[in-house]
Structure 1
Amino acid sequence: MSASLFSPFWHRVAAVKPRLRSHVEINRHIYRGDVWYVIQDDASGRYHRFTPQAYALIGLMDGQRDLDQIWHSAGDQLGDDMPSQDEVIQLLSQLYRVDLVQTDVIPDIREASERRDRERRNKVMAVVKSPLAIKIPLLDPEPFLNRTAGLSRWLFNPITGLIWLWCIGWALIQAGYHWDELTENLADRVLAAENLFLIWLVYPVVKLIHEFGHAYALKRWGGEVHEMGVMFLIFMPIPYVDASSSAAFRNKYPRMMVAGAGIIVEAFIAAVAMAVWVYAEPGLVRSLAFNTLLIAGVSTLLFNGNPLLRFDAYYVLSDFLEIPNLAGRGTRQVAYLCKKYLLGQEDSESPAYSRGEARWLLFYAVTSFIYRVFITISIVLFVASELFFIGILLAILSLYNMFGKPLISIIKYLFMDRRMVQKRGRAAGVTIAVFAMIGVLLFVIPVPRMTVAHGIFWAPESARLMAASNGFLEQIKTRSGEQVSAGQTLFVSQNDELESQLDRTAGRIKELLVHYRTAVADERQNEAGIIQEEIQQARAELSRGLDEKRDLVMLSPADGVFQLAMPVDPQDRYIPRGTLMGYLLQPGEYRIRAVVGQDEVAAVRNDLQQLSVRLSENFDQVIAARLVGEIPSAQKALPSAALSVDGGGQFALDPAAQDAPEAFDPVFIFDIQIEDMPVSRIGERVYVRFEHSPEPVGFRIYRQIRRTLLRELEF
């Protein structure tokens, strides 16, 4: 309420007789236990929320009473809560600006024309400010929805809800069961040219069904849909419907159902796609099902199902919390806190109506801003990697909208707003102090810096016991971890095919010897020479076969400790030649082979202050270590599959490499020495921490941005 009940300008408006326009409807809502009145403008599709005090005035605007009579009548109803004359004038101005009232005064045609021109300019500027999301209205779907309204009652009822829950549960179980197959070579499969074309075809269809979900949910609870069109989101045509009429629903749960209907529909589409993918044979149908599952599942989680973006889940959260315009009011709450506690404006008013609402507004404003920055940068980098020039323009525009425009608004407020006339000195001091504090935190105060890499316990090549012959493992003669001596039997394998081959070769040699003697006796010298060469080849083949047979029994080449490297139960399995069977570990020092990515290798090479190792199974145990070597050139081959993402490591595998595990990007390998390593640790993954000189955070951010530009844009 204003400080004074009366206004010096009251005489100018006291005789005006305002009346609500005929296209306006008023609905009574309850938000967080308080009564509010929502005015629905059917002409523009907008909704405006007012307090009961404002409604006491608005409800009297019938075109018969003048403003002075309305004010006095409202004062009789509200008593001590009656508004001041300035507040009544402000309310009338707000209603007039949004075209909710008309008066007995002859309208200013020029002002109305300027207002329409301003609205058109605002629409054009909205397209310029958000080039990644352009809306084009096409048609009014209400007649079609009215003819098929019975479908809405069939879609939204308790029985359908139970069926939906069963389908989603089944799909989640199938996703867990087939997870490895679903995620195998995911990036390579998704980004293939033919698959991107399928996504481009499937995406609009899925989104069309999604939007009809909103439309039929509105019809189910009595709403109307008068606008349907196409929105170009990152240049992808996507259907949309205007579901804003749900704001008139008094109960929040129908509003939540309308907002979440698209998510519900897409989740069901994902369940159906999962069923098709599971039971279909490899081919076009299965590929379409996979892409539908990807679109309806992943995109829903990242966008429509994420309340930090102003899509479906945002409106569900807003209605659930009973905080309309959650994002806009969150921004105003941050501005209020800055004005009150930084600029000393004690008369600033918070947009929150309770402490709980204030906490929600602040939390949402901060978290949504961080996520929007993350998702915008990701989109810009993706577009720039494909269309460089357009990506750069989008980056400049996005940075301006996220940082530049708010900063300009803040500067204009600090140095041009009349309320800051008496506080310009404080504003300048606070501004300087804030920027100085940010600069000190980013570029002056050093903080600890380290690189954490994955590695494995690595045995020398001489300690590796490799299978020298193909065969089925019959016996393991020595337990893992047991002390063995030179010549002791470790493995016994069996190869029946080799035995048959040896028998055939021996029989062939006997047969050739008979032919040879006959040829010599008959003095057929040429034939005898040929048979003699065949005998030599057969004997050589027999010798190789006998060597392979002897190699089926693996003997310890020296004294040491035997460690099995095979699966838990390798018995009776076929073991190809060259398979790592185990290790023969002798007393001494063994190394850790750590793998470092391209972004961290410079710091590891040039600024290593301290080194430590932690075991994966006992992370609290710290082992002292020292760097003893490096493979000087970059490579893609990983020392072990345990260092890949599939094995629990940090490096994505290159799907093109089939014979050995290779990282998608080049890596660098370092050898680390530790003392008294248990021999049973060979092949186990460890965490290696390279500690560097402390450094301010700002320089790290700069380097990370530069690396990202170099990697993604080659800029």
Structure 2
Amino acid sequence: MHNGPLQADGSPGWLLHDPAANRFYLLGWAGFELLSRWSLGNASALLARVNTETTLQLGDDDLQQLLRFLSGNQLLQVTQSDSLWQWHQQHKAGALMWLLKHYLFIRIPLVRPDKLLQRLLPWLSLVYRPLFWWLMAAVMVSGLVLVSQRWDAFTHTFANYAGWSAALGIAVALSLAKVVHELGHAFTARYFGCRVPAMGVAFLVMLPVLYTDTNDAWKLPDRRQRLLIGAAGMLAELTLAVCATLLWCFLPDGPLRAGVFLLATTTWVATLLINASPFMRFDGYFLLSDWWGMPNLHARAFALARWQLRRSLLGLDDPPPEYFPASRQRALLIFAWVTWLYRLVVFTSIAFLVYHVFFKALGTILLMVELGWFIVRPIFGELKVWWRRRADLRWQGRTWRSAALLTAVVLFFVLPWHGDISSPAVIGAAQSQGLYAAEAADVADVRVQEGQQVQPGQILAILSSPALEYQLAQAKVIATSLAWQVTQQPFNNDLRNKGGTLTTLLLAAKQQVASLQEQRDRLTLIAPFAGRIADVSDALRTGTVVTQGERLLQVVGLEGVRGEVYVDEENVGDLHPGDIARFIADSGDSAAITCRLGQVDKLNQNTLEQPLMASIYGGPIASELRGQAIEPLTTVFRVPLESCEQHIAPLRELPGKARLHVTPHSLLQQGWRRLAVAVGSEAGV
């Protein structure tokens, strides 16, 4: 036994060390006094001696509680093999449970470094002196000053590296950082006289992480020493980052410099974000545990939170599992709830990450295992406790309040009160036509401007193509020459010998002239119907050059509105032709427009023909550009909006939302349908 930290009530504590399992157990005053006189070998004599020689007054219940603790942790000397066999059978896990636990977490010790650490420690004694840390401060300042002078080169270190060189640099840098991290724990523990029996690799849901066994640190009575051991890994990585920052300034460009850049900028940040968190059993947890002087911080905080939950919801008046001052109790309750929420997010994220890494069948199994083990199992275990204690429940203020809250929550999810949906939509004029440049040409004349009303057949702009004019002039010369030759054929023997060939060539020349004249006519932009001018291109100015196929302006009809709404797979089955839809523009420039739904498309949209709706152009539908087509990343169906009440057509297309009335469904039904759609989509059915 070793001296331990004081208890929460101020009484002394002791640590009981089990060298075989390398575990430490915190004993209170009563447990220490009983074990100190254990050699008496008689329960009555043991209790009498403790009650006589100390101010404690212990009874059989206290002794039985200690015996259960010692027996449960295999700390009693066993004289019969039957007892060992019975304990083995009680704690024997089935093959499935063994595989489950070792898949979720397993430790593999690789080295026993204690003797090597002891031999190397004198060479590193400078690290534990103030002079070293003053030196590191100077190195940090020097590195930051030099880097600030070459900031652009520093921030673009990785820009020129890709492929295997970058991957190798990242792998080496990460490996070095993690090895230095664990050596920081190991050397510091050995410096303070603690054994380091093993270092190795642990697999957390098949993710490899290095570990160092520093359990021996629990025997240190000095809290500062325990804190230094817990923080040594992060301090070692920060020291490595400081040295890497200065080293970067003197290395030539290459993979080595890229790896040093990673050490200086990334690895230590990731370490702080992960290891400094007290919500998982990483360095931050042990630091907070030592800072508060509370071994088994998670278990004790969770026990207190479960007690408070049962007291608040069920009205159970159980005594708290431990006594804490009011401020510490509030801190522990907040810590427990934040930890539960943090783990919910982390474990759910890991589960879905594993699902996407493996093929569908195995990924689904692993997803269910992790969600079941980390999330469903703890909740189900607490509900089992509530059910076991149902006889202790009494109707009172807290239970009435819990029943009312539960009823409200159930009704909120079960009642079909949610009957409207909002879907992305776009609306525009019923008549709309874009005008494009038929040929590469010069803008000779522009006769309209943005918003101007035009009549059918009105000339909007005239383009001129010198190349086309030259081709037309040449074609006319050829046609004129051939026409003269045909008229002179009866009077000229050479022309007469050509027979009908001249007539054929003349017809071809006339067709060529007509074709070129038609091309020239297409360079004159004419209004196809009565409307207004919209979206005039900046290139449509006199004297500028436009390319073939360039969009120049839009002619929008004066009356009539049409549009389309994009509905997800979950809600499309509730829509019917003729249903009312209310469109509200995102810009808020126009009042709500009431329309009717047209025929719902039978097939989902493989390509998105409306760029305004695509996320790559700022729209609401997640999409990506593949070649020249926009492909939605989710399943959406197009539903036309018809018979809109507004008669004045908008000048340009308006993106917005359409409120659609559907058959009311409860949130529970909606959740089930979403789950079914997601499962069907992932399964490919």
Secondary structure at the counterpart of residue 337 of structure 1: helix
Whether contact under 8 Å (1:610, 1:692) holds in the other structure is no
1:340 deviation in Å?
2.7
Give deviations 1:664-695, integer Å, cap 9, x for gaps. Answer: 34421122355448755623321223233433
* TM-score (norm. length: structure 2): 0.68
Whether contact under 8 Å (2:185, 2:232) holds in the other structure is yes
Indicate yes or no: 2:355 matched with 1:388. Answer: no
Looking at structure 1, the residues matched to 241 and 496 of structure 2 have their Cα atoms a distance apart, in angstroms, of 84
Label 1:540 to 1:332 Cα distance change in 2 as closer, same or farther (>3 A): farther
Indicate yes or no: 2:614 matched with 1:658. Answer: no
Corresponding residue for residue 636 of structure 2: 667
Looking at structure 2, the residues matched to 568 and 161 of structure 1 have their Cα atoms a distance apart, in angstroms, of 56
Match of 2:567 among 596, 600, 604: 596
Corresponding residue for residue 680 of structure 2: 710
Match of 1:563 among 534, 537, 558: 534
Q: How does 1:335-374 map to 2 (within 5 A)?
A: 335-350=306-321, 353=324, 354=326, 355-364=329-338, 366-368=340-342, 370-371=344-345, 374=348
Secondary structure at the counterpart of residue 317 of structure 2: coil
1:638 deviation in Å?
1.6
Whether contact under 8 Å (2:613, 2:621) holds in the other structure is yes
Whether contact under 8 Å (1:565, 1:582) holds in the other structure is yes
Secondary structure at the counterpart of residue 661 of structure 2: strand
The one-letter code of the counterpart of 2:376 is F
Label 1:347 to 1:505 Cα distance change in 2 as closer, same or farther (>3 A): same
550-559 or 597-606: which moved more? 550-559
Whether contact under 8 Å (2:564, 2:639) holds in the other structure is yes
255-264 or 231-240: which moved more? 255-264
After superposition, the CA RMSD in angstroms is: 6.5
1:264 deviation in Å?
7.5
Corresponding residue for residue 214 of structure 1: 181
Looking at structure 2, the residues matched to 472 and 302 of structure 1 have their Cα atoms a distance apart, in angstroms, of 61
The one-letter code of the counterpart of 1:332 is A
Calculate percent identity across the aligned residue pairs. 16
Label 1:232 to 1:436 Cα distance change in 2 as closer, same or farther (>3 A): same
Looking at structure 2, the residues matched to 437 and 551 of structure 1 have their Cα atoms a distance apart, in angstroms, of 72
348-357 or 469-478: which moved more? 469-478
Corresponding residue for residue 445 of structure 1: 415
Looking at structure 2, the residues matched to 478 and 36 of structure 1 have their Cα atoms a distance apart, in angstroms, of 94
The one-letter code of the counterpart of 1:594 is V
* TM-score (norm. length: structure 1): 0.66
Indicate yes or no: 2:558 matched with 1:587. Answer: yes
The one-letter code of the counterpart of 1:499 is P
Whether contact under 8 Å (1:505, 1:538) holds in the other structure is no
Give deviations 1:547-602, integer Å, cap 9, x for gaps. Answer: 55554553433432221165799999975544444432232231232211222211
Indicate yes or no: 2:667 matched with 1:697. Answer: yes
The one-letter code of the counterpart of 2:428 is W
Looking at structure 2, the residues matched to 267 and 610 of structure 1 have their Cα atoms a distance apart, in angstroms, of 63
Max radius of gyration: which structure?
A: 2
Looking at structure 1, the residues matched to 546 and 267 of structure 2 have their Cα atoms a distance apart, in angstroms, of 44
668-677 or 88-97: which moved more? 88-97
Whether contact under 8 Å (2:534, 2:556) holds in the other structure is yes
Match of 2:111 among 139, 143, 152: 139
Whether contact under 8 Å (1:343, 1:423) holds in the other structure is no
Looking at structure 1, the residues matched to 375 and 675 of structure 2 have their Cα atoms a distance apart, in angstroms, of 17
Give deviations 1:177-209, integer Å, cap 9, x for gaps. Answer: 99xx9xxxxxxxxxxxx99xx99x999767644
Q: How does 1:434-473 map to 2 (within 5 A)?
A: 437=407, 440-441=410-411, 444-460=414-430, 462-471=432-441
Q: How does 1:144-159 map to 2 (within 5 A)?
A: 147=120, 157-158=136-137
The one-letter code of the counterpart of 1:709 is V
Label 1:647 to 1:462 Cα distance change in 2 as closer, same or farther (>3 A): closer
Whether contact under 8 Å (2:616, 2:624) holds in the other structure is no
The one-letter code of the counterpart of 1:131 is Y
The one-letter code of the counterpart of 1:356 is R
Indicate yes or no: 2:497 matched with 1:523. Answer: no
Corresponding residue for residue 378 of structure 1: 352
1:59 deviation in Å?
11
Looking at structure 1, the residues matched to 298 and 66 of structure 2 have their Cα atoms a distance apart, in angstroms, of 26
Secondary structure at the counterpart of residue 623 of structure 2: coil
Looking at structure 2, the residues matched to 651 and 679 of structure 1 have their Cα atoms a distance apart, in angstroms, of 25
Gaps spanning 5+ residues in structure 1: where? 1-19, 76-81, 182-193
Gaps spanning 5+ residues in structure 2: where? none
Looking at structure 2, the residues matched to 323 and 168 of structure 1 have their Cα atoms a distance apart, in angstroms, of 43
Secondary structure at the counterpart of residue 212 of structure 1: helix
Looking at structure 2, the residues matched to 473 and 264 of structure 1 have their Cα atoms a distance apart, in angstroms, of 65
1:709 deviation in Å?
1.8
1:399 deviation in Å?
2.6
Label 1:666 to 1:410 Cα distance change in 2 as closer, same or farther (>3 A): closer
